[in-house]
């Protein structure tokens, strides 16, 4: 880390340092570099955009940029301290790091006042663009573009990128053995196994490798797994409702389910109560077990009304009212008076002389 008491280039403001570094360029070259990399604090501009501003072709701007970069690369020794610190940071992280995270970490590393920097989003962004400029002009860093499996990243040597790809194959194989999201202790065990397999000494390095992959993630409950799993990245409202019910392991009112879904913030999309209720009603994975209360069918709950459940209970044998209540509570949440009213249906139930309840037999079933 930086010692702020040292008299080094990094004690100067990073933006000021970069401004001084490109100060050797003619004005037009300096303007192109600043706009192309966003060193002026604005969003980086395309060569075509810069060309239109100046009334020249994109190719002409590209030539100006190439000429400017050649001059700057010949003077890179002026930035040796900065580049060395960034490289050491990347080596500590395993030689490869997800682009955005590395920019943020390097920005913090090179700032003499990180707290103040992070309080100003525009300045923070300008610092990140300055770091990106340093990485781009240095021969010590290589860039890998984002693809369907990996986030964009910076690395030092090709071997680190190859190692990362082998790490992902290993982790994916391990997760397929589990076939479900890993709890925190299981995730920690996976990290230790990964570190032994690839001779990684620091846990933060193992985590840094995993951060690169788009195949893995944590769900809002801190469980780790493949992004394709519903338990990690639920794809619709029903999947979200199922996941929160699996987490609490008990029936919930649909308003409680809604609160948990929105609190979990799965994908920054808030769910409306009407949409959720409609999904719960039409999806056979959910069983209405009480007034507005839903459970998962996989827990053993059967579909149907209270009357339907009473019929299935009394099919086994006649029972007392208390015995019926005990059996019913395994399937439904209902008041005693509600159960008693349902038992008054004389077409289905009858009360025996010993006060037990039984099903009324239809004529065709009588022998």
The answer to whether the CB of 223 falls within 8 A of the CB of 255 is no
Question: What's the confidence (pLDDT) of residue 116?
Answer: 76
Tokens of 32: 């192109």
Read off φ and ψ for residue 155, nearest 5 degrees.
-145, 165
Res. 10: pLDDT tops 60: no
Q: What's residue 3's pLDDT?
A: 42
93-140 residue pLDDT tens = 999 999 999 999 999 888 887 887 778 888 889 999 999 999 999 999
Three-class DSSP category at 155: strand
SS (H, E, C) 41-88: CCCCCCHHHHHHHHCCCHHHHHHHHHHHHHHHHCCHHHHHHHHHHHHH
28: enclosing H helix or E strand = helix 27-37
Question: Which is higher by pLDDT, 363 or 90?
Answer: 90
pLDDT of residue 185: 95
Which pLDDT tens digit goes with each residue over 29-83? 999 999 999 998 899 999 999 999 999 999 999 999 999 999 999 999 999 999 9
Instruction: Using the predicted structure, report yes or no on whether residue 365 has a pLDDT greater than 70.
Output: no
Residue 195's Cβ-count burial label (10 Å; 0-12, 13-18, 19+) is: middle
256, 258, 259, 260: CA torsion to nearest 10: 90
> CATH 1.10.10.10: does it fit domain 306-365?
yes
pLDDT of residue 12: 54
Distance of CA 133 to the CA centre of its chain: 28
The count of C-alpha atoms lying within 13 angstroms of the C-alpha of 25, restricted to the half-sphere facing its C-beta, is 25
Kindly report, residue by residue over 219-271, the tens digit of the pLDDT: 999 999 999 999 999 989 999 999 999 999 999 999 999 999 999 888 888 89
Average pLDDT over residues 345-353: 95
Place of tokens 């589990």: 178
Confidence band for 22, pLDDT divided at 50, 70 and 90: very high
User: Is pLDDT above 60 for 363?
Assistant: no
Residues of the chain above pLDDT 70, percent:
95
Query: Rounded distance, CA 348 to CA 73, Å?
Result: 90
Instruction: Report the b/e string of 150-181 with b at 16+ CB within 10 A.
Output: bbebbbbeeebbebbeebbeebeebbeeeeeb
Average confidence (pLDDT) over 193-222: 93
**pLDDT score at 319:** 96
Residue that the structure tokens 């000494």 belong to = 201
What pLDDT is attached to residue 69?
96
Tokens 């389910």 belong to which residue? 257
Pick from 22, 211, 191, 206: nearest CA to 104:
211
Beta-strand pair 142-144/153-155? antiparallel
| Domain residue spans of the chain | 1-140, 157-226, 237-299, 306-365
At 2 the pLDDT is 38
State mean pLDDT over 146-171. Answer: 94
Residues in the chain: 367
pLDDT range class, residue 355, cuts 50, 70, 90: very high
pLDDT at 314 over 70: yes
How many beta carbons lie within 10 A of that of residue 90, not counting itself?
A: 23
> Using 50, 70 and 90 to split pLDDT, how confident is the model at 7?
very low
In this structure, the dihedral spanned by the alpha carbons of residues 331, 332, 335 and 340, taken in order and rounded to 10 degrees, is -60
The CATH number for 237-299, chosen from 1.10.3120, 1.10.10, 2.40.128, 3.40.50, is 1.10.10
The domains spanning 237-299 and 306-365 adopt the same CATH topology: yes
Element (H, E) at 289: strand 286-290
Torsions phi, psi for 134 (to 5 deg): -60, -45
């Amino acid at each position: 880390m930086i010692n702020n008491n040292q008299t080094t280039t990094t004690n100067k403001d990073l933006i000021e340092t970069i401004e001084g570094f490109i100060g050797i360029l003619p004005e037009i070259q300096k303007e192109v570099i600043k706009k192309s990399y966003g060193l002026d604090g604005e969003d980086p501009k395309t060569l075509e955009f810069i060309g239109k501003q100046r009334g020249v072709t994109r190719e002409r701007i590209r030539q100006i940029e190439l000429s400017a970069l050649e001059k700057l690369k010949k003077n890179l020794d002026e930035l040796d301290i900065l580049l060395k610190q960034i490289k050491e940071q990347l080596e500590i992280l395993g030689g490869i790091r997800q682009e955005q995270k590395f920019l943020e970490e390097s920005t913090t590393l090179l700032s003499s006042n990180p707290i103040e920097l992070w309080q100003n989003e525009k300045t923070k962004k300008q610092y990140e663009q300055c770091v990106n400029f340093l990485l781009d002009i240095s021969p010590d860093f290589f860039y890998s573009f984002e693809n369907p499996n990996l986030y964009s990243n910076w690395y030092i040597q090709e071997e680190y990128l190859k190692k990362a790809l082998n790490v992902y194959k290993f982790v994916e194989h391990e997760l397929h053995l589990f076939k479900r999201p890993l709890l925190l202790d299981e995730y920690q065990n996976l990290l230790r196994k990964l570190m032994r397999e690839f001779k990684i000494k620091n846990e933060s390095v193992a985590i840094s490798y995993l951060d690169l992959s788009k195949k893995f993630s944590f769900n809002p409950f801190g469980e780790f797994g493949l992004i394709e799993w519903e338990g990690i990245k639920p794809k619709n409202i029903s999947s979200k409702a199922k996941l929160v019910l699996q987490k609490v392991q008990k029936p919930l009112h649909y308003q409680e389910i809604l609160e948990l879904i929105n609190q979990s913030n799965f994908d920054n999309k808030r769910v409306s109560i009407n949409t959720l209720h409609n999904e719960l009603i039409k999806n056979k994975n959910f069983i209405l077990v009480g007034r507005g209360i839903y459970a998962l069918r996989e827990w053993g709950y059967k579909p149907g009304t209270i009357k339907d459940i009473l019929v299935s209970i009394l099919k086994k044998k006649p029972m007392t009212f208390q015995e019926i209540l005990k059996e019913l509570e395994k399937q439904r949440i209902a008041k005693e008076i509600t159960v008693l009213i349902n038992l008054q249906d004389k077409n289905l139930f009858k009360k025996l002389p010993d006060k037990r309840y039984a099903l009324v037999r239809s004529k065709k079933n009588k022998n």
